[in-house]
Chain A
Amino acid sequence: MATDSPDVRVYALSPNSIQFLDRIGAWKYIKDRSQPYTAMQIWEESGPGLLRFSADDMGAPALGRICEDQTIQTAIYQSIKDQGYNFSPYFGYSVDDVKLPANGNNPSSPAVVKIEPKDTVNFQPKELSARLVVGADGANSMVRKFSGISTWGWGYGQEAVVATVRLPGYDQPTPEANADSTASDSSAPNTGRRAAPRNNTAWQKYLTTGPLALLPLWDGYASIVWSTSIAECKRLKALPADQFLLELNAALQSRPATDKWSVFEKSDATNLPPFINNLFQARPFGPVSNLFGKSPQELLQAAKREVAAVADVLMASAQMSDPLQYPPKLEALCGPRVSFPLSFSQARQYTAPRCALVGDAAHSIHPQAGQGLNLGVQDAITLSDCIVRTMSVGGDIGQASLLKSYEKERYVKNLSMMTLVDGINTVFKDEHATRPVASSSSAASASSHTTNQDKKDTHEKDYVSFSAQATRPGDLPFVPKMKQFLRSAGMLGIHQLGPVKNKIAKFAMGLDNSSTNK
């Protein structure tokens, strides 16, 4: 049972990664300080799109677990010590230089790494020679820099604000409450006098400015990852804590701006982009229109009505079978707000003579799919398998064939996942996004679009209705509206297609990854 609040740096570990950590004997040290999530809801601010995954549908105990960075690192060190390996770590040093052999095919000399201590008074610089140098030193990898490996990619122009928050309903742990706890699963620790609200869902809402994720932690804590523009991020970090919490809750609780398909609202053809109009003016459509006795415009309206009807059925059935749920209101902000920049980046090579890059040193991905660390773990699994295979035939672990087989295995797989996540980012990106500054005085004027029903709803009363002040989708030009329609309809469609959803979830959990975890 954790008594201190979680550290702000947390990761989502997929079941595949957890299996690996278990295999190396580190998971037992992480397990108690991690929170499983059994459901994940993804929805949007500007439309009715909704997608919810559930571990029960797939018969899995959890979709993944959220753990702290420090806990994972300490657990791995502990498991190395447990197994009695000859392991000499140099803590408090940084890499000063890396010299690799010139010829990768015939690396006749070892690799040399020079390290500098931070504390130059008590410690000396060292020169380490190795058969293989593994660069696992993150996005600003020194090993990558000194190996002469360059990267390609782009910055998203976004940063993510990360913070730890607290849910209501979790009191301090009391011994008598634990004794009569009726909760059968340890996943929702019963720390209060009454059964505390379950905290096993991961929430991700696509605001117009970027995704906002709420990830469950133990003891009623949760982690938020708010990706947004750099200026907005700076503003959010500078806000006083209670103001930040107000904006956070408002963003999470706001209703979608419309529950209708905005793309069908205006029905005149002047709404269409010019190229579609020109298409219908062209001669080939003449015979078609004559055939049905209607003009192209009328045909278009008829088509629109049909599609709108189908889309309405889709939306209605989603609302009936598995409607939108709202995340819990957050009670307090615990700890600092930190931020990190978001980019899409891939090293041009993962290997150099006697050198391999793993994890963020090799690739950088948008955090919105929670795949960053999991890709790194898969890199580690693949590289360690290559090393074991080579060692079992007495080979040189720095040899080119080992490095090449590692790179071949991981390069494309990583790039595919990064491209997929980048694609999702593009789908949800809204170029017309604006976010107003929150203040309680604007709450009153904001409710102009909400119905009476909404006003009476105590659920929304306390919060600034941002959606009213964000650009209304109805005012957007055609192409963004169509994009939003396709996106929302796509989400709702997948939401109701169990088998398709399960396949997607399995992919994200790494369970159909054949290269890892043998």
Chain B
Amino acid sequence: MLSTLGARYIRHASARCRALSYDRVNKEELQKFASVGSDWWDPNSKSGTGPLHDMNPVRVDFVRRSVAEALNRTHLFESQQLKGLNILDVGCGGGLLSESLARLGANMTSIDPAPENIKVASSHSRNDPLTATINYKQSTIEEILASGQKFDVVCALEVIEHVDDPRGFIQACAQCVQGRDGAPGNLFVSTMNRTKKAHLMAVVGAEYVLGLLPPGTHEWNKFITPDELRIMVESTPVESQSNDNNDKQSSTMKFIKQNGIVLKP
């Protein structure tokens, strides 16, 4: 298995282009989301964002709980546990995750390479004073890294399976994390596991049988297994302040069926 992994990474490394960061963004992947528009916020939408609404409470709960445990904030009310933390949401889409984290008290910076998504997200966030403070930017993680900004928490949820160079992406995300007051920073990545079951359910089932997502939304070859993710993260060099390796926290490939049951394949 190790040799196939090695071969895979070499392939990715050679495909890496160091020119403009936007060139790294896969244009085909961007197109999948460009036409979603106001459907982002419709829980019953068939354009692929419906299941995200079901998944969101579970992933927000995981992020909040993990951060609270890491920063010793579990004694606070849930709605106070993220107060004052600077959080970066990479690939924020319509802002589903960002708004939830903002309501829990976080200072949100949310980026997405697609201008349409940023437009939808900013206009929706203006409806609620708690979410109106979210800083939406059309940008990529490489740009953020280059600007030298650091965050207590970086979230890249349901993004990495749409990225051509997952290892580079993870590295960039990890390097934007910085802990404070001796407590570690946190990076959250979630995606679907590259198993036969995931192929059956997430690709065939969701896209072709149930019609929950438009066909072609996910490419099974781009799914990442937990082991691969661990290797990617643990080989990422970070400025050593408190810890040697980046504290990897992942939601371990949760795949949620339409009726809200969480499966751990």
Contacts and interface: CB of A to CB of B under 8 A. Distances in A.
A105 B60 CA distance: 20
B241 to A, nearest CB: 29
A394 B127 contact: no
Interface residues of B, number: 22
Contacts, number: 50
Mostly helix, strand, loop or mixed at chain B's interface? helix
3 tightest Cβ-Cβ pairs between the two chains A and B: A394-B100, A392-B78, A394-B103
A392 B61 CA distance: 7
Interface string B96-127: 00011111100000000000000000001001
Given A391-B78, A392-B78, A392-B79, A400 B127 contact: no
Interface string B32-73: 000000100111100000000100110011001000000000
Interface in A376-403: 390-396, 400-401
Given A106-B41, A131-B128, 14 more contacts: A105-B43, A105-B44, A106-B38, A108-B41, A110-B127, A390-B57, A391-B78, A392-B61, A393-B56, A393-B60, A394-B60, A394-B79, A394-B103, A396-B103
A395 B41 CA distance: 13
A410 to B, nearest CB: 20
A108 B127 CA distance: 6
Contacts of A391: 78-79, 103
A394 B60 CA distance: 8
B221 to A, nearest CB: 32
Contacts of A392: 61, 64, 78-79
5 contacts: A105-B42, A393-B60, A395-B56, A395-B100, A395-B103
Interface of A: 105-106, 108-110, 131, 390-396, 400-401
A395 B127 contact: no
Nearest to A101: B127
Contacts of A106: 38, 41-43
A492 B104 CA distance: 58
B104 to A, nearest CB: 4
B124 A108 contact: yes
Contacts of B127: 108-110
B90 to A, nearest CB: 18
Nearest to A400: B43
A7 B40 CA distance: 54
Nearest to A388: B78
B128 A396 contact: yes
Given A108-B124, A110-B127, A131-B128, A394 B41 contact: no
Contacts of A110: 127-128
B101 A394 contact: yes
A394 B99 CA distance: 7
